[in-house]
Chains A and B, each alone.
Chain A
Amino acid sequence: MGATNAMSNSLSQWLFPPSALHSTPSSVTSNIPLEKELYDRARGVEFLFRLGVSLVLPTSAMFTAATWFHRFYMRFSMEDYHRQDVAAACIFLATKTEECGRKLRDVAKIYCSKVSRIELKEIPDDSREVEDSENAILQTEEVLLEALCFDFVVDSPHAELVDLFDAREVQSEVEDFAWSIANDSYRTPLCILYPPRIIAAACYILAQQLVEGPQSTSLAARLASPAPSASLPTPPSQKPSPMTSRFAVEFFKFNEIELASVRDALSILLEFYAAQDLQGSTEYLATIGSIPPPTTSANREKLYLPFTHVTQNATLQGQTAT
């Protein structure tokens, strides 16, 4: 059946090498520096999550929308399409594919309330702002469909984490941390760089390191290949023990190349956390920025600059805090 494969959808078609981040439309056509683009991607996804939470969407819909958001900006510039419009269009479209339909009017009202920081109930149905937002969402939706090439179905690292958790007998704090880090991963472009299982493993291993503290096995050792003999308590034939630092690596049966990807993904996550203004944040976040990254591919350029630096340098018109 020749025609059958014409549209077949493969995840790898949506994965870019990290170097592609240096030649995005925002950078090539709008001269937006990478650190600014990454900062705005993070803010856009934050906004997207806030819309999704207010609309009481299932988390799976938000993860799908966030992935589309990152795909969108591999095709269009942040200068031409504002992150908040794109975020709202992604959310609106996700309510259609994930069968959790919301009225355009409701999405638009919540969008207005978030942008203008006015209580939702203070916003009249027929206000000019709501109408404008509706139009912005609809116009962006069309561009979004074009950008996505109608590939709607995406997988999330969370689904992989669920598998990983299921393989463990005991629940632990590690799972909570891993889950949250996976949420945060959407603020970075990881979802367009690595397949979900790589990201899931990176989140899990970082969570282990956080929970077990700075004295525990280093990230480098957790991701070394071959495994350092000291941290290999079980013969390969046995089931991996959930307690070992190599649990995720063994669970996913990573090969050399995949291990290298996990190291790169992890270092991007750490860079992202370190770029945040972590002052006054929770204790664990304060420590996350100081975790030494595993050794990564030599040729990878640093992606993030401190966000405080980005905001100071950028002259934004109509700057909002989100």
Chain B
Amino acid sequence: MSMFNQDPMRYYRTKRDNAKRRVGDKYTILGFISSGTYGRVYKAQSKEADGRIHAIKKFKPDKEGEVVTYTGISQSAIREIALNREISHENVVALKEVILEDKSIYMIFEYAEHDFLQVIHHHSQTLRSPISLSVLKSLTYQLLNGLLYLHECHIIHRDLKPANILITSGGIVKIGDLGLARLTHEPLQPLFAGDKVVVTIWYRAPELLLGAKHYNKSVDVWAVGCVVAELASLRPIFKGEEAKLDSKKNVPFQKDQLLKIFEVLGTPDEREWPALKDMPEYHNMKRLDTYQFRLFDWCASRMKTHQGYEFLKALFAYDPDARLSAKNALKHRWFQEEPKPTRNAFFGLPPHQIPPHRRISHDEVPSMMPLPSAAAQGGNPGPPAPPGFQNLSQGAGRPGSTASFGSLSGGTGGGRDTAGHVRKKSRLA
């Protein structure tokens, strides 16, 4: 506090001046990693003495309308930043800083050399052998550990899949991509509401597939089950075809994905899942062929031990309320039997069993984010021209409510009603 008394703005100014610097002042872009839904991810090296490696996620600005015009800083970036700023855990990718430059947001993350998808590919394509039980268990344990942390922070990830679960070269699991994550107390939008939101259907929980309006953290646990099964068998366990929105944007019944699940877990019934008959898609589901439970057979060669089967079965409970929580999953007997999970998931592995380094390409770099060295070669290529504030002619404006306003200070007693507040912690906390 004494520091503030001398110069209350000092902390603030340092912080802001840091944010004001341009990406190219602080980082050397080493290459381009991937192109995601909302932007691109680059590999970069800090210009500070430590020369640390980072992943930089660049968001495109928001666009609206058919004539593409700039409509503000990307909402997904804002969401992802807001969530990331509140958290810090060894098994969740750490956000190091955020830079706003030419209307694009750059999120600078700690770098993770590998991800689950890479590990799966490496074993299925190169090694042609299963992931060892010790690695499988270590990856699963750390994944659940990160998930438990998120859940305790009231965050639902909603998009867990092998590509989003990263691993450092030191074998530490880092949950990434909070782009679709939500705080549990916020009104949850249906996952398929926005047309640009795509959650991979293979990892989607049955209650979502059956159209449940309310869902909770247990959708993440289902996804963990799918990921564990995929690590164990090197292919997605429920590899269904997604039914697309029809021309009227009706949300379709996800028949194929449900069938893929039923083929392994059997058709659910009301005894194991009492709320089943209240699901919006219940009647559609009833028209499907019925299947027997055969997870036990599925696990026999893949999960090795009986506890492995029990573990997976508990993650795949149809009833979300009966499904294991992240916390209880970590306590499962499977983790207590040998081999025990290790903090470095790659501990003791011969080097060839560790997947190769993340591939980066260089062709994309100059056009997206000029290398600072380019400026030295005479001329000043500079950043791409900002999109500029053009006419938002196609914005299809739906006017908001014109509800009248009662002055909040004038008529205090009544004013709060016009604000339509609901005195619920869930709306405020």
How distant is B400 from chain A, measured CB to nearest CB, in Å?
5
- Expressed in whole angstroms, the Cα–Cα distance for A183 and B410 within the complex equals 11
Contact of B420 among A5, A56, A142, A179 (CB under 8 A): A56
- Expressed in whole angstroms, the Cα–Cα distance for A137 and B70 within the complex equals 12
- Expressed in whole angstroms, the Cα–Cα distance for A103 and B402 within the complex equals 15
- Expressed in whole angstroms, the Cα–Cα distance for A246 and B427 within the complex equals 28
Stretch at the interface among A78-86, A91-99, A217-225, A237-245: A91-99
What residues of chain A lie closer than 8 Å to B1, measured between beta carbons?
12, 17
Chain A 1-35 interface 0/1 with B at a Cβ cutoff of 8 Å (1 = within): 10111111100110111011001000000000000
Q: A53-B403, A153-B85, A165-B423 known; A99 and B100 CB under 8 Å?
A: no
Contact of B81 among A135, A152, A159 (CB under 8 A): A152
Judge whether B82 and A149 touch: CB under 8 Å: no
Chain A residue at minimum C-beta to C-beta distance from B103 = A142
Chain B 147-160 interface 0/1 with A at a Cβ cutoff of 8 Å (1 = within): 00000000000000
Q: Is A276 an interface residue (CB 8 A)?
A: yes
What residues of chain B lie closer than 8 Å to A120, measured between beta carbons?
399-400, 402
What residues of chain A lie closer than 8 Å to B81, measured between beta carbons?
150, 152
Judge whether A93 and B412 touch: CB under 8 Å: no
Q: Is A125 an interface residue (CB 8 A)?
A: yes
Judge whether A180 and B413 touch: CB under 8 Å: yes
What residues of chain B lie closer than 8 Å to A110, measured between beta carbons?
400
Chain B residue at minimum C-beta to C-beta distance from A52 = B419
Judge whether A103 and B397 touch: CB under 8 Å: yes
What residues of chain A lie closer than 8 Å to B396, measured between beta carbons?
103, 105
How distant is B295 from chain A, measured CB to nearest CB, in Å?
36
Judge whether A3 and B94 touch: CB under 8 Å: yes
Judge whether B410 and A13 touch: CB under 8 Å: no
Q: Is B310 an interface residue (CB 8 A)?
A: no
Q: Is A156 an interface residue (CB 8 A)?
A: yes
Judge whether A142 and B100 touch: CB under 8 Å: yes
Q: A3-B94, A13-B11, A162-B428 known; A131 and B412 CB under 8 Å?
A: no
Stretch at the interface among A247-255, A279-287, A312-320: A279-287
Q: A1-B88, A183-B412 known; A7 and B403 CB under 8 Å?
A: no
Judge whether B398 and A180 touch: CB under 8 Å: no
Judge whether A17 and B8 touch: CB under 8 Å: yes
- Expressed in whole angstroms, the Cα–Cα distance for A12 and B71 within the complex equals 33
Contact of A138 among B19, B72, B391 (CB under 8 A): B72
- Expressed in whole angstroms, the Cα–Cα distance for A102 and B72 within the complex equals 12
- Expressed in whole angstroms, the Cα–Cα distance for A16 and B75 within the complex equals 29
Judge whether A282 and B427 touch: CB under 8 Å: no
What residues of chain B lie closer than 8 Å to A52, measured between beta carbons?
419
Judge whether A177 and B413 touch: CB under 8 Å: yes
Chain A 114-154 interface 0/1 with B at a Cβ cutoff of 8 Å (1 = within): 00000111000110000100110111011001110111110
Judge whether A180 and B408 touch: CB under 8 Å: yes
Contact of B100 among A54, A146, A183, A276 (CB under 8 A): A146
Contact of A53 among B4, B97, B419 (CB under 8 A): B419
Chain B 16-31 interface 0/1 with A at a Cβ cutoff of 8 Å (1 = within): 1001100000000000
How distant is B360 from chain A, measured CB to nearest CB, in Å?
20
CB interface residues, A 180-213, toward B, < 8 Å: 180-181, 183-184, 187
Contact of B419 among A12, A20, A59 (CB under 8 A): A59
What residues of chain A lie closer than 8 Å to B186, measured between beta carbons?
98-99
Q: A104-B64, A146-B20, A282-B410 known; A59 and B400 CB under 8 Å?
A: no
CB interface residues, A 42-60, toward B, < 8 Å: 46, 49-50, 52-56, 58-60
Q: Is A36 an interface residue (CB 8 A)?
A: no
> How many chain-B residues does the 8 Å CB contact rule pick out?
73
Judge whether A162 and B412 touch: CB under 8 Å: no
- Expressed in whole angstroms, the Cα–Cα distance for A102 and B401 within the complex equals 11
Judge whether A4 and B412 touch: CB under 8 Å: no
Q: Is B15 an interface residue (CB 8 A)?
A: yes
Q: A105-B395, A149-B16 known; A56 and B400 CB under 8 Å?
A: yes
What residues of chain A lie closer than 8 Å to B75, measured between beta carbons?
96, 101
Judge whether B78 and A184 touch: CB under 8 Å: no
- Expressed in whole angstroms, the Cα–Cα distance for A137 and B62 within the complex equals 14
What residues of chain A lie closer than 8 Å to B73, measured between beta carbons?
93, 96, 141-142, 145
CB interface residues, B 190-232, toward A, < 8 Å: none
- Expressed in whole angstroms, the Cα–Cα distance for A16 and B12 within the complex equals 10
What residues of chain A lie closer than 8 Å to B402, measured between beta carbons?
54, 119-121
What residues of chain A lie closer than 8 Å to B277, measured between beta carbons?
none
- Expressed in whole angstroms, the Cα–Cα distance for A177 and B416 within the complex equals 10
Q: Is B49 an interface residue (CB 8 A)?
A: no
- Expressed in whole angstroms, the Cα–Cα distance for A150 and B80 within the complex equals 11
Judge whether A7 and B423 touch: CB under 8 Å: no
Judge whether A97 and B96 touch: CB under 8 Å: no
Which of B70, B72, B398 is the most central at the interface, judged by chain A CB atoms within 10 Å of its CB? B72
What residues of chain A lie closer than 8 Å to B70, measured between beta carbons?
138
Judge whether A106 and B97 touch: CB under 8 Å: no
Q: Is A41 an interface residue (CB 8 A)?
A: no
What residues of chain A lie closer than 8 Å to B90, measured between beta carbons?
1, 4
* Chain A interfacial positions (CB closer than 8 Å to B): 1, 3-9, 12-13, 15-17, 19-20, 23, 46, 49-50, 52-56, 58-60, 62-63, 74-75, 92-93, 96-99, 101-106, 109-110, 119-121, 125-126, 131, 134-135, 137-139, 141-142, 145-147, 149-153, 156, 158-159, 162-163, 165-166, 176-177, 179-181, 183-184, 187, 276, 281-282, 284-285
In the assembled complex, 16 residue pairs joining A and B whose CB atoms fall closer than 8 Å, in A order, are A1-B94, A23-B8, A49-B408, A55-B401, A92-B72, A93-B78, A96-B73, A99-B79, A102-B400, A104-B64, A104-B392, A158-B428, A179-B423, A180-B408, A180-B412, A187-B409
* Chain B interfacial positions (CB closer than 8 Å to A): 1, 4-5, 8-9, 11-12, 15-16, 19-20, 52, 64, 70-73, 75, 78-79, 81-82, 84-86, 88-90, 94-98, 100, 103, 110, 182, 186-187, 189, 389, 391-393, 395-403, 405, 407-413, 415-416, 418-421, 423-425, 427-429
